[in-house]
Amino acid sequence: MTQTLTAAPAYAPPGKPLCGHCGTDRHDDFRILSRHRTSVGTTVWIRCSCGTPQVRVATGAGIQLVARGRLPQGRGPGPGR
């Protein structure tokens, strides 16, 4: 069985923040929680410094955000929380 991920582009356009909740665009603001090889690439579970978990799939074509969790309770969106 072959899976195709088409929900979003496999790259982040220039100037687009990596975290949609807090707007960070620095890779060092994320902590890798786990990394697993799958049939479609490598699945990486990460947590932003604002507390938002994300799931990304890395393939030869790039990295695609496939899931993003909610902000922790009591934290609002935007920089400077």
The pLDDT tens digits along the chain (81 residues) read 444 444 444 445 455 667 777 877 776 778 899 999 999 899 999 988 888 898 999 998 888 888 888 877 766 555 544
Q: Could you give the CA distance from residue 68 to residue 21 in angstroms, rounded to a whole number?
A: 10
The whole-number pLDDT of residue 68 equals: 86
Residue 76 lies in a domain: no
Q: Which tokens in the block code for residue 34? A: 């786990």
**Which structural domain, as residue segments, surrounds residue 38?**
8-71
Q: Which tokens in the block code for residue 14? A: 């220039």
E strands present in 1-81: 30-38, 41-48, 53-59, 62-68
Residue 66 lies in a domain: yes
The whole-number pLDDT of residue 16 equals: 62
Residue 59 lies in a domain: yes
Residue 80 lies in a domain: no
Q: Count the domains in the chain.
A: 1
